Amino acid sequence: MSQYPLIIDAQTLSQHLDDDKLLIIELCKRDIYIANHIPGAVHFDYGHIVKVEKPVMGLVPDDEHLRKVFSALGISVDTHVIAYDDEGGGKACRLLWTLELAGHHKVSLLNGGIFAWANNGFPMEHTINHPVPADFKVNKDNSVLATLDYIQEYLDDPDIQILDARSVAEYRGTKNFAQKGGHIPGAVHYEWTDAMDRNNNLCLLPMEQLQKTLAAKGFDKDKTVVAYCHSHHRSSFSYYLLKAAGFKQVKGYAGSWSEWGNHPQTSVETL
């Protein structure tokens, strides 16, 4: 078991920067990284972990691509990855989720990302860090992945719940980026940013409050919850929110609405 929590705060991370098994990965824009970043952090381009087959976005690259990318990042079986970004955690969580899908579960999200670190006065550096390559082996864990076929098969199963992390307008179908508007039938809306404290560096709201909100929306820890958005970017954050809140069976839908909303044989609901 890892010594690091799934959601790590800036104070805790600041006390472990000298851990040689720790790899801190930043997914901010390159110019932000060059200007200032957490000491020891390496920069990573989000585009390397998503595959686009228009109109479907956010698909998972093949195993060989993931092996090369994660090997180049220096991730070995002993590496604990802590990721952060400048948007509350969407890109960082997609990286961590992809690592889990590839079989690497030693991962953490920096709560509040670069804002929580910088605004609390922790040290920054502008030296560009280059990872030492490692030999990453992909050992797929498909338990974290939901596919279109999976959702269609279990759409009427009472033990499967679906969380829509998009905006209210997207959920209702009044704003649309696909051939069809609306949401997956039965999906419950919980916009990803609603779990963030805008007065506290986009950190997660207090966990007790989040658990009450999830319960009020009908989410059950004893059921499997599938999180989706448009390309499993925003919903990757929701995936880790659910896990942090104690949900044991959580899946991410990689193709999300860009696949469901463009597929000729999917049903949708609108409000």
Nearest of 235, 212, 234, 231 to residue 163 by alpha carbon? 235
DSSP 194-245: GGEETTTTTEEPPHHHHHHHHHHTT--TTSEEEEE-SSSSHHHHHHHHHHHT
Active site residue 28: no
Q: Which of 28, 93, 203, 229 is catalytic?
A: 229
Does residue 204 contact residue 10 with C-beta atoms inside 8 Å? no
User: Residue with structure tokens 């658990």?
Assistant: 211
- 3 state SS of 81: strand
Using alpha carbons, list the distances in angstroms from residue 93 to 86, 175, 215, 241. Answer: 12, 25, 23, 10
End-to-end alpha-carbon separation of the chain, Å? 44
Using alpha carbons, list the distances in angstroms from residue 242 to 6, 7, 35, 205, 247. Answer: 11, 11, 33, 13, 5
What is the dihedral angle through the alpha carbons of 103, 9, 2, 211, rounded to the nearest 10 degrees? -70
Annotated catalytic sites, by residue?
Answer: 229
